[in-house]
Chains A and B, each alone.
Chain A
Amino acid sequence: MEPVSALSRRLVRVSAVIERDLKKFRRNPVIIAMSLLMPVIYLVILGNSFQGKLIGLPVVVVNQDPGPAARALVDNLRAVQTGPRTLLLSFATDERAAVGEVRSGRYKAALIIPADFSHKVALRTRPTLGLFLDNTDGISMQTLRGVVEGAIGALGVDYVPVREPHDRALLRDVNLFPSVDYYQSLVPGVVIMAIFLGTLTTGVFNVVMDRFLGTEEAYLLTPLTKTDIVGGLVISGLSVTSLVAVLVLMLGMLISGIAAPGSLSQVAAILVVILLTTLSLISLMFVLLGRADHPRIVGVLSGFLNVILFFPSGAVYPLASLPGWLKQLAWVNPEAYAVDALKAVLFKDAGLSQVAGDLGFLVLFASVTMGIAILLLKRRL
């Protein structure tokens, strides 16, 4: 048989695998809606649950000093309350009751200004304040400590100097890129999340479902090869998932106010990153779930995989601060490369050439995992 007709027959087979999958997906509008909505809701929830800055931390102040320094300190704290809204101040007179309410969880801290505070400030004899902290909440504790220290430090400054003193070193910030707020910085992670969710409900999931429902048997009886099956399902999963990812990205950019990419190279870079990430994750799922025979296994694995891939990806927290062993996980984590590339393109005006390293890793990862996936797939029962 001549090679041309063998190839065209393969194309007919693969196209049938693709069409079957796409038709089934299209007839499930709930899944399409969910795969679009879930990542966007995720963005909103994540963006609002751990914000970059904390706000509204309840603090009780017990001021036993009628002097000017104490008044100035309270004013400084009030300024924080109205400005960055880090604090939510309450005032009390009973020191012990105030500390008790920190213990009971009503306040995150109690600040006690002793009666001799202003006196000692005036005499410059090391005034002391009591800050009773709920140290079980590490993040709030650090922030509160910083805010109170700032308020104390500002006590001596009565005026804004017109001219910097010549003897002090001057630090000038130079922003290399347009500023990115916390909400915006989450968008790349959310797109990766959309891809992750998509690759769980397309690709290998169809094999698992066919196996579970017993329809796989009819597949295995046909002349379809392993490459036909994996190839077809990868192509259909790739098209559906990357389309969803592009839509999620557009929604995310709209919601968080990220400017549209300025050049064609950037648009191309975004599309290539999304396609390669999807390909990598679809192939990974084939390796992990290629022999699963119950959808419950997919469910159990998805929660676990989501955590171990998403958190060491740099999507919410910088990779540099991870411990060594976790950094090693990040080195082989396709999501980490995807986040890095997407952040570069969206926030640093990078084009294809600047993210070539990330893309190279994704190409390598996808080829290796897809090879393993084809080897692992069973062609018999």
Chain B
Amino acid sequence: MSADPVAVRVEGLSKRFGSLTAVDAVSFQVDSGELFGFLGPNGAGKTTLVRMLTTLVRPSGGRACVAGFDVMQEATQVRRHIGVIPQAMTSDLDLTGYENMDIYARFYGVSARERKARIETLLETVGLSGRARELVATYSGGMRRRLEIARVLVHRPAVLFLDEPTIGLDPQSRRIVWDLLRQIRRDDEMTLFLTTHYMEEAEALCGRVAIIDAGRIVTLDSPERLKRQLPGNDLISLTLAAPPEEDLLAALQALPFVYRLHAEDEVLGVYVEAGPMNLAGLMEATRAAGGRVLSAAIHEQSLEDVFIHYTGKSIREEEAKKVSLLLGAGMPRRWNR
């Protein structure tokens, strides 16, 4: 493992495809042992950024060092010290799980003796020991993803990159992958760098998250701090007996602790400071303005709200347009730049 305390150092990194700037002068640093996330909608530049850091795409400007090596000048050294799980499934369908791992390990020059033990341990870890001798063509999407996670660890990389590791997986497989990633970080003291457009994924896994939109980092911090920085960091939803009148909305908006609100039929969403403390005040004000509250619930804000705060749009909306196209393994790479 690299002794460098900085696993990934990026300075003013850019990538232009013709007139399109996919990544726009991005700078950040990931320390060794961190689980670092890039959150943003597809098309935000996440995949291009990962591809630059993993030597697949030549940057148009700026510098990046990974595991202590320059991605341009020392590409082979970088490749030797990293593991990457690209967004598309890349395991060979007409090889068995074991063969996939064995051949991949040999690409890294892992010796025969070490290979066997390592592969068996890893297959055990991802729960595929029983299916290791079967062709990957017979695997489900989740199994294939788990195999790829095991495969990428076979040469003990110092930095592990995962580009949308759970895209297209069902909720159960997603949870299994999450547990695996946590376990890897804990057991192998590896640096993990992942991109995702799932807020839950970034929140559940990452120690620090960079929110990226249109090729730029809009903010970078731990999920907790990002959410705490938001004005109105709790969401209270009130279900009323009838859709609220304008007067009621104006009265609530005038309250000092209310940041903003939105109404959808009978359900009123109110962003407030210190939700649990102000719930009683909010309900009182609603009643005073003529509203009748049937039920109330406090939600903590999510990274989605952070994204909305910084970009003025929602990741979910951005996703709804694109994600249906992006499922599956056989997607040509020019689609997911």
A and B pair up: yes
| Partner-B contacts on A (CB < 8 A) | 9, 12-13, 15-17, 19-20, 23-24, 27-28, 212-215, 217-225, 293, 379-381
State the B residues within 8 Å of A (CB): 51, 54-58, 75-76, 79-80, 82, 84, 86, 88-92, 94-95, 99, 102-104, 106-109, 111, 135, 329-333
Tell me the interface secondary structure of chain B in the complex.
loop
Question: Besides the contacts A215-B90, A223-B109, what 16 more A-B pairs have beta carbons closer than 8 Å?
Answer: A16-B103, A17-B107, A19-B103, A20-B99, A23-B99, A214-B330, A217-B86, A217-B88, A217-B90, A217-B333, A220-B56, A221-B82, A222-B79, A223-B107, A379-B75, A381-B333
Once the chains bind, are A223 and B56 in contact (CB under 8 Å)? no
26 residue pairs from A and B, CB less than 8 Å apart = A12-B106, A12-B111, A16-B106, A16-B107, A17-B107, A20-B99, A20-B103, A23-B94, A23-B99, A27-B135, A214-B86, A214-B330, A214-B331, A214-B332, A215-B92, A217-B56, A217-B333, A221-B56, A221-B82, A222-B108, A223-B80, A223-B108, A224-B107, A225-B76, A380-B58, A381-B333
**Bound complex: CA of A10 vs CA of B44, how far in Å?**
38
Chain A residue numbers with a CB within 8 Å of B84 are: 218, 221
Complex CA–CA separation, A13 to B107 (angstroms): 5
Residue of B whose beta carbon sits closest to that of A28: B94
Q: Does the CB pair A24–B92 fall under 8 Å?
A: yes
Q: Chain A contacts of B79 at CB under 8 A?
A: 221-223
B90 touches A13 (CB 8 A): no
Least CB distance from A362 to B in Å reads 31
With A212-B332, A218-B86 as given contacts, are A20 and B109 in contact (CB-CB < 8 Å)?
no
**How many inter-chain contacts with C-beta < 8 Å in the A-B complex?**
84
Supposing A215-B90, A222-B104 touch, asked if A381 and B51 sit within 8 A by C-beta, the answer is: yes
Residues on the A chain within 8 Å of B329, using CB? 213-214
Can you name the residue of chain A whose Cβ is closest to the Cβ of B54? A221
CB distance from A68 to the nearest CB of B (A): 78
Select from chain A the residue with minimum beta-carbon distance to B83: A221
Write the chain A residue with the least CB distance to B77.
A223
Tell me if A214 and B333 are in contact (CB < 8 A): yes
**Are A24 and B55 in touch, CB under 8 angstroms?**
no
Residue of B with least CB distance to A26? B94
Query: Nearest B residue to A293 by beta-carbon distance?
Result: B332
Q: Distance in Å from the Cβ of B53 to the closest Cβ of chain A?
A: 11
CA distance A225 to B108 in the complex (A): 11
Also in contact, A213 and B103, with CB within 8 A (given A24-B92, A223-B80): no
Across the interface, which residues of B come within 8 angstroms of A9, CB to CB? Answer: 109
Q: Known contacts A214-B332, A380-B55, A381-B56; is A222 also within 8 Å of B107 by CB? A: yes
Chain A residue nearest in CB terms to B82: A221
The complex places the Cα of A215 from the Cα of B92 at a distance, in Å, of 7
Q: Which 4 A-B pairs have the closest CB atoms?
A: A16-B106, A218-B90, A9-B109, A222-B107
Q: A214-B330, A222-B107 are in contact. Are A380 and B57 (CB under 8 A)?
A: yes
- Residues from chain B with a CB closer than 8 A to the CB of A23 are 94-95, 99
Cα–Cα, bound, A214→B56 (Å):
13
Interface centre among A9, A20, A23, A214 (most CB of B within 10 A): A214
A27, B92: Cα distance in complex, Å: 12
A214–B109 touching, CB < 8 Å:
no
Known contacts A16-B107, A24-B94, A223-B79; A213/B56 CB under 8 A: no
Check if A221 sits within 8 Å of B86, measured CB to CB: yes
- Closest A residue to B161 by beta carbon equals A221
Complex interface: chain B residues within 8 A of A222 (CB): 79, 104, 107-108
Which has the most chain A C-beta neighbours within 10 Å: B75, B109, B111?
B109
A35 CB to closest chain B CB (Å) equals 17
Q: How far is the CB of B238 from chain A (nearest CB, A)?
A: 48
Indicate if the CB atoms of A213 and B330 lie closer than 8 Å. yes
Q: Which residues of B contact A379 (CB under 8 A)?
A: 75
